[in-house]
Structure formats: C-alpha cells, structure tokens
Amino acid sequence: MPKKDQYILDRPTGRTLRARDGISAIAIAIVVLLIVEGHSIRNSGEQMGDGVQRTVVLAVGRPAGWIADRFGVDDDVHRLTASLSPDASLGTAGSFNASVAAGGAQAAGAVAPVTPDAFDPASLGAKPVVIPKLSTLLVTGDSLSQPMDVELARRLASKGVNTIRDPHLGTGISKSALVDWGRLSTQQVHKDKPNAIVFFLGANEGFPFKVAGGGSAACCGPAWAAQYATRARAMMNTYRQTGAARVYWLTLPFARDPARQKIDRAVNAAIYAAVAPYRAQVRIVDMTSVFTPGGRYRAAMPIGGRNTIVRMPDGIHLNEAGSALAAQIVIARMKADFASLQ
C-alpha cells in the first residue's frame, strides 16, 4: 500500500452535520450570550476608546444590553459565577461617584485652610522627615507601571523590601466604569498597608467626566483637568495614609500621537494641581522632562553614554530600558525619604 501523502488533510473522524446546523449552534450561543452578557457587551463598548471597533461593539452592545434588561437574568448569573472572578471586591469606600454625588465643590466664598502637609520640609530648608525602614512598597497604576514595577522589585529585593505589584491594565482615573480608582486605592491601602506607593497611570485617559448637576466635562479643558485633579487628590490622600506613607506619583512622558499629547498635558497639569495640599508626603516624579524634554517625543535617548531605545513601538509605553531608567529615578527619590535605602 503506498504511503499516504502527509500533506493531504483528512477531516476529523466522527459525525458531520450540515453547515446550517453549525450556524444554528453558533446562533443559539449568541442568543444565550445576549441574554446573559448583554450588559457586559454594552459596558465594554462604552469603555473602549473612540474608533471603529467601539462603534461596532456599541452597535451590538446597546441592543444587547436592552435585551439583557428585559430578561433580567444577568445579575443572577453573575452572582452565581462571582466566586470565579479574579477581581477583588472593592467595597464602596472612597468611590469617585460618591464625591461627584456630594458635589465635590467648595462652598461659595469658603477657603480651605492650608495645612503644614502642603509643604515639603526640604523645600523650606527644614530638616526632612526620614522614615527608618521601607518594608512594603506598592507599585500600581495601569500598563505604564509595567515593567517598571518588576524593575523596582528586583532592585529593592536586596534591601528587604516587599514589593507588591498591582497593575490594572486598561484602566484610568477618567475611566471609572472599569475600575473606580477611588475605591481601589482605598482597598489597596486597607489590604497591603504599604509605607510607600509608586503610582504611574495615564495610558487610557481622556474619557469625559460626569460632573455634579448631571453634566459632563470633555477632555481636555480646565473643567476636565479640575475633575481629574480632584480625583487624583483624593487618591493621594488615601495613599499617604494621614502622613504615614510616602507617595511617588509619576508624570506622563508625552506620547508620539499629538492627540494623546493633549491628554498627557492635561493629566500632568492636573497632577501638579492635585498635589498642593500634600507635598509633605506626595512626591511628583517628573518623567515628562526625562523622556520628552521640551515636550518632544523621542524613541531613543542616551543612557550611560549609549543611545538606547526607551519607548515601545506603540509610542506610549516605556520599554524595558526606559522602565529601568524610570525605576532608577524613583529609587533615587525614595532614598531621601527612607533611611534603609540610603
């Protein structure tokens, strides 16, 4: 018997059906998914950045959400499968929504008092407050915090620092439908009790904010920046743990895309505005002028005398070398605050 040609492929053995049976099976799966996951499809579309994919997902997601609303079984299914979810329950404390509901604005005519926490002692020529030991470091944010988080962890492992890496990819302070950073930061502090927090986030910003009174503030004007700063300030306050911890909040190096640069500029301005009451414990670590001096994007820069690529091809993120440099700068700043690192 001649040897069979290995490049002539046989269909799998077993039962075959008509193509219409295959389409029916897929259609049944779709109907079940529309009923059970309709809300998720709609939510996913709403959380996507502008573009064709968002339009398509929303074109399906909105009617899918409507169908799910009619049947009302999705909550039951999600309750039944909740134990499988890797996401920790965030509770309600610290929610951004609560601050919007409360108005978030200063009463007319009232001026918030300036406290000593608004001043970094070093900037006044006073003796800096040095914490003896850095025992637990939390490195968090969105995809920008990677791989800087592992760089920090590796470099600090020999100093006895327990580094907790908690990146939340695809999230943003202006994108709280996916993760409410107000709640998440509260939960992180409650769970890990870090005495230093490195925060690097901003690759997914630019979504409109809901403002008190039911309106919305679109990126990237003063109203949007003010909302962003308010939320960032709330998080800074949570992370600093009434002065017990130090926070290292990284500004954004500009992205290659001019449209994104506009968002980056607004985020950076908001960060500087947000930190004002907490300069004693919150350090703004300037990544903007390191990676994009003069506001100009560059993929490569000199490191140790050698021209080195520091950005990912997407023109947003830092690559390994860029992250290593960022980690080095953060550690240099931390050394002033923690005796065990000196």
> How many other CB atoms sit within 10 Å of the CB of residue 148?
29
Residues whose CB is less than 8 angstroms from the CB of residue 316 and which lie 6 or more positions away in sequence, other chains included = 144, 203, 255, 256, 257, 260
d(CA 291, CA 119): 27
State the nearest-atom distance from the C-beta of 277 to another protein, in Å: 30
Nearer to another protein, 183 or 283 (CB): 183
Which of 99, 136, 241, 319 lies at the binding interface for another protein (CB under 8 A)? 319
- Cβ atoms of 135 and 195 within 8 Å: the answer is yes
State the nearest-atom distance from the C-beta of 45 to another protein, in Å: 8
Q: Please count the residues of this chain forming the interface with another protein, following the rule CB under 8 A.
A: 74
Contact call for residue 136 and another protein (CB under 8 A): no
Which of 129, 300, 332, 339 lies at the binding interface for another protein (CB under 8 A)? 300
Site string for another protein, 60-89 (x = CB under 8 A): xx---------------xx--xx-xxxx--
Contact call for residue 21 and another protein (CB under 8 A): yes
Task: Return the residues of window 138-177 that contact another protein according to CB under 8 A.
Answer: 147, 149-150, 153-154, 157-158, 162-163, 165, 168-171
Contact call for residue 342 and another protein (CB under 8 A): no
State the nearest-atom distance from the C-beta of 263 to another protein, in Å: 20
d(CA 322, CA 301): 9
Site string for another protein, 280-299 (x = CB under 8 A): -------------------x
Closest CA to 329 of 298, 286, 300: 286
**How do 216-217 and 196-200 pair as beta strands?**
unpaired
Contact call for residue 37 and another protein (CB under 8 A): yes
Contact call for residue 307 and another protein (CB under 8 A): yes
Residue type, 291: F
State the nearest-atom distance from the C-beta of 171 to another protein, in Å: 7
The torsion angles phi and psi of 251, rounded to 5 degrees, stand at -80, 165
Sign of the C-alpha dihedral, residues 49, 50, 56, 62?
Answer: positive
